[in-house]
Structures are given as C-alpha cells and as structure tokens.
Chain A
Amino acid sequence: MLGADADREPVLARDDGRDRELLQEIAAGKRGALEQLYFNYHGRLGQFLARLTGRRDAIEEAINDTFWIVWQKAAQFRGDSRPSTWIMGIAWRCGLKALRRSGPLPPEHGEATLDALSSIDSTLAAEELREWLDSGLRSLPVEQRATMELAYFLGHSCEEIGAIMNCPVNTVKARMFQARIKLRNLLPTLAGAPSKEKLNHE
C-alpha cells in the first residue's frame, strides 16, 4: 500500500550532490556555476513562488533576489543541510519580502469558495485541476500554503521545512494539519466526497 510511493523521488533530492559542487564553484566566483544552478531551479522556484505570492509580477523579482543572495553567500553554505533546503530558505524569505511589497492578493484571486469549486466537473482536465488546486491553495494562509508546497511539490521533510521557514518542527506539523483539513473541505471533488463533508479530525 505504502510501497507504491517508495520509489518516487522527491523533486530536489536527486540533485543534491551536483548542487553542492555548484555552490562551491559559485563561492569561488564562477558565474557559469551560478547560471547552471539558476536554470536548474528556475522552474521549481517559479512554481513555489507563484503559489506563495499569487502574483506573477513578483516571481521573477523574488527569483532574482534569491540568486543574488546565493551568489553573495555561497561561501557560507557549510553543508549542514541539503543545498535545496538552504536555497529554499532564501527563496522563502525573498518570497515573503515580495509578498509584503506587492500587498495582498487582488480580490479576483482571493478565497476559493465552495460554490465556485462545486461548479467544476468531476472529470477535470489537468489544466482545470491545476487551476482549481491553485485556487484552493490561495485560500490558505501563506505559511500553510508554503508548507504544503515544500512538502508535496518539493519533497522536503518536516525538519527541513522547519529549517527553511525558521520555525519549530511542531509548528510545521500544525500548519500541515490545518492546511490539509482546509483543503479537504475546499477540494471535495478531489476527495471524491460530497462538497460539504467535514472530517472528524478537527
């Protein structure tokens, strides 16, 4: 039952060794290494920051800020954590900064209502599913949204997410718990259950 997922590799795990080498080269001032790392992370960071900030205009700015800091601070990476944990920690802080600068999400991108979600057909195409999911994620507080993204999209452990978001592991667990409850109630079709159904875990 659980073995089906055992061979699924987290998105960033496979690149750890190469990323360490690249960070060492960046610390030595090699622009080519920074370029490689930039293109390796651009898509993942783009999605993470898109869901974090909810604003396309803030994404490139946050990615630029992230790699600017990577360039400046690469020598300070001591290998105590995975390179992806270190980079995502920087991206998280840059994303929050971008969020503060750009202000709250515009109303049309705001909370996903049950009525809106229930109007979506159960046989969703991938594109519709993505939009629907993004809408549900946007309805979460930014910390819960980022926790979900770091765990499910980027494959980070509970401890790594604590390091990235600079918070205790119990806080990560609490955020994940609350996010899952909310999404379960907001994404009924994905749950394969009536829309108003509530879990009894609360």
Chain B
Amino acid sequence: MNDLMQSHRRTWEAIPWILNGSASEAQRRSAQEHLRVCADCRESLAFEQRLRDAMVQPPVNPGDAEQGWRALCARLDSAPVRADSAREMKSVPLPTRWSLGGPVRWLAAAVIIEALALGAIVTASWIRGSEHAPQGAYRTLSRPEPINAAPTIRVVLSPVMTLEQFYVLLNSAHLQVVAGPGEAGVWSLAPAADASAVATAAALRELRGNPQVRFAEPIDTGVHALPP
C-alpha cells in the first residue's frame, strides 16, 4: 500500500472522530493535508457531516420525563435501603423501630410471628409426644437395641438440609436422635455420651451456629439444668 493509499485510509477512518471533536490534533492535521488532494475523502466528509447533522437533531418524542421520574421514585420508595447504605450501617447508629421503612417493619414483624409460631408448634408437639409416645422407644434399622437416652434438645431443621449434613452435625455436636421427626418436623436429640449440662450447652451452641438449624432449644428435664 503506497503512502497515498495509507493516508486515504487513515483519513477515511478518522472522519467520524474529526467531526465529533474527539480526534487528536495530529489526526486533524494529517486529514487536512490529505483532503486537499483527495476528492473522494472530501465527498465522504461532506456525507458524514450531513449524516451527523441529521443524527444530532433533538428527538421528536423523547417520552414523558415527568411520568418516567414518578415511576422511578415509586421504585426507589419501595426499596429505600441502597446496597451501599447497608454497608454504611456498620458505622452509623441503628435506626429505631419507628424510623424503619414500611417493608423493613413488616419483615421484622414476620420474623417475630414465625418464631412465635414455631415455638408454639414445638411446644404442642412436645406435649403431644409426651402424652402419646413412650420415651426412649426410638431405634434405627442398623441398631438392634432401642436408644433409651432421655432427650435433652429439640430441633427443627431447614427443609433443604440433607440427611448427610444432619449426620455430620450430630457427630460434631455429639448428639443422637431419640425421636422424630414429628408432624411439625421436630427432632428430639440426646447426648451421645456426655449428658452433663455443660455438654448440652456446647451442643446447643453447635446447633445454633448452623444456618440450617431453624430452632434449637433445651428440654428442661430438671436433671440437665443449664449453667447460668
């Protein structure tokens, strides 16, 4: 490719950037020199100029900005907490319950109601179980003798927790299943070996530290009172 052809190519490619004002001074000078001798590029420049002029015409119908803004405001109002605000909350005082937005207040209320309902179900299930099922009758197919240990903890698990994960958790907390799951999904657990209050408290911490354990409460037998 000779110099003229290279200059021709460079100029043709630079035309849009010259027209929109973003070309470098060197590009502009080089194009200026070439345009003096190249009718094709002068004609291309004129065409692109007309094209650009047509494109920069203000839009005929840009849409209703007021209506669009109202729609955006409604969206912002429905989710008042920004992603960065959540991060900033570490360094600012927590809002009082009355300063929480509507959705946040409702979410908090829903969590409380869920916890109360779960507690009621567990209690009812426990009472029913105490009345109708003999304690210590739990056994597995791989275990010839029934487990006679008294339950010390009741738990409710997340439905997404697998059996394998449950076994791993039981092992790490040194617990075994005594009964369950009941109608409400309540499992009764007993210590695998150490039945002391300290061991029960440690097992409870282990259970409560697992995100897939929804509920873990000690059973007050009068024998295994937890330390204060």
Chain B, range 69-110, C-beta contacts under 8 Å to A? 69, 71-73, 75-76, 82-85
The total of chain A residues at the interface (CB under 8 A) is 60
Interface positions of A (Cβ within 8 A of B): 1-2, 5-6, 8-11, 13, 27, 29, 31, 35, 38-39, 42-43, 46-47, 50, 56, 59-60, 63-64, 67-68, 71-73, 75-76, 126-127, 129-130, 133, 148-149, 151-153, 155-158, 160, 173, 176-177, 180, 183-184, 187, 190-192, 199-201
Number of interface residues of B (CB under 8 A): 49
A127-B60 contact given A75-B84, A190-B47, CB 8 Å threshold? yes
In the complex, chain B residues whose CB is within 8 Å of the CB of A5? 18-19, 21, 49
Contacts of A158 in B (CB 8 A): 17, 22
Question: Is A192's CB under 8 angstroms from B13's CB?
Answer: no
Nearest B residue to A154, CB-CB: B20
Q: A1-B32, A72-B84 are in contact. Are A152 and B16 (CB under 8 A)?
A: yes
Q: Is the interface of B mostly helix, strand, loop or mixed?
A: helix
Q: Which B residue's beta carbon lies closest to that of A133?
A: B54
In chain B, what residue has the closest Cβ to A176? B16
B→A interface (CB under 8 Å): 9, 12-13, 16-22, 28, 31-32, 35, 40, 42-52, 54-63, 65, 67-69, 71-73, 75-76, 82-85
Instruction: Name the one of B13, B32, B69, B83 contacting A72, with C-beta atoms under 8 angstroms.
Output: B83
| A64-B60 contact in complex given A5-B19, A151-B20, A201-B12, C-beta closer than 8 Å | no
Question: Given contacts A72-B83, A73-B84, A155-B21, could you give 9 more A-B pairs where the C-beta distance is less than 8 Å?
Answer: A38-B72, A43-B62, A56-B63, A127-B60, A129-B57, A149-B55, A152-B20, A157-B22, A177-B13
